[in-house]
Structure 1
Amino acid sequence: MNVLIVHAHPEAASFTTAMRDAAADALTESGHDVRVSDLYEMKFNPVASPNDFLGRANEDYLVYALEQRHADANGLLAPDIKAELDKVVWADLIIFNFPIYWFSMPAIMKGWLDRVFVSGRCYGGMRFYDRGGLKGKKALVSLTLGGQPHMFDANGVHGPLPDLLKHLLRGTLGYLGFDVLPPFIGWHVPYISQQERTALLDAYRERLLTLESQQPLAFPSLEDFDELLRPKAHGTA
């Protein structure tokens, strides 16, 4: 399996970075091909702009998604976007590895999503969910945060973590057609002991050895909706 790890943490000695390395080592030892995009190390530009295109379909007014389609079809994507998109096409599994910032991902990773998941190639028209442009690929979110599990229970102070990450798990990865595996969470990381950190890394390695047997999260099938995306009527009166 080809695995791309998209990593976003500004500190090379962080636990999040240790998770990146643990994943790369475990998957390589299991016979998978692994590539890493370390966004901070790469100084990846997260800002979508007209500079993302070597030529434009409309030089007078920027509709970013339409220009993505035009540039991808005509070999006009900026080199940094093209390099990352090639990795996406190559990968069977993409791991998104990051610390939680404000119930979300670091801005540099959000910018990677905005610029690399190009319209036309990855989604567009009725090409989403089980018809998405990246259907057949797997995605795994591996994250760290300072909170404890009880804070993210159904009745916890913050609510269930998957609900808070719906914008990523469903609104981005599920929408694009990925089989989205349940996230791996490094809880309470800034406050736990070295022994607990070691146990977390061991649990993560074990999780990565069972990827093929993990059940993806459930998202809508477009077969259940009509051409206007209204739910189809099931059965008769």
Structure 2
Amino acid sequence: MPPACSAMFQNDVWLCGYAKGDQNIDSGKNEDEIMLQMFGSDEEAIAKIPTQVQTLPGEGPGEVLVSEYKPIPEPVPDVDYLQELLAIQQQGPRAIGFFGTRNMGFMHQELIEILSYAMVITKNHIFTSGASGTNAAVIRGALRAEKPELLTVILPQSLKKQPPESQELLAKVKHVIEKPHNDHLPLIEASRLCNMDIISHVQQVICFAFHDSRLLMETCQEAKNLRKIVTLFYLD
């Protein structure tokens, strides 16, 4: 009798877990047979272990939930990108709005003049505002092309609100649109309204800005929202 078992008997059953008569029967069996009888075969144990799918919760007891196969959807074409690509590939002149910072070096201004000149001689209509820096370079380049009908300058306020050097340059422009009703507004707010007006007249926007040029970034985003072609050049 194993030492861990009690010497007491109850209904001829040993407290260690098997009947009294089993001692003599099991004495003739080897250890493997005893383990097999107590715990079952390895195949039976493996068969009872639930699979990963069987462990998923189901509607009721014993129900196996099988995950449904869902094919990966095909990517949807970017409609805005396709429209922009189509507009770029279309031949013929278009209305182009130029925007940019006042704080610009001499070399950058020369490049913008060349770009503006090239746009006008290819019969594109240029829209810009009246200010120093980018706008002044755009106006000078467009005037060099000697096609005054293809340049329109929209001012944020009345002409008298412009600095003297800008007034001198604007005197050479045939189409200048003033907004004296915005003279009472801060310049930043009047410029925002002016930029929105220019966007409404053009199909494409070309902008020269720094990453922290908040008003210009807002202008470009608004142009994108209106499905305009936006070309943004960062100066930093």
Larger Rg: 2
Give the TM-score taking structure 1 as reference length.
0.31
Taking CA–CA contacts closer than 8 Å with sequence separation of 6 or more, which of the two structures ends up with the larger relative contact order? 1
Give the TM-score taking structure 2 as reference length.
0.32
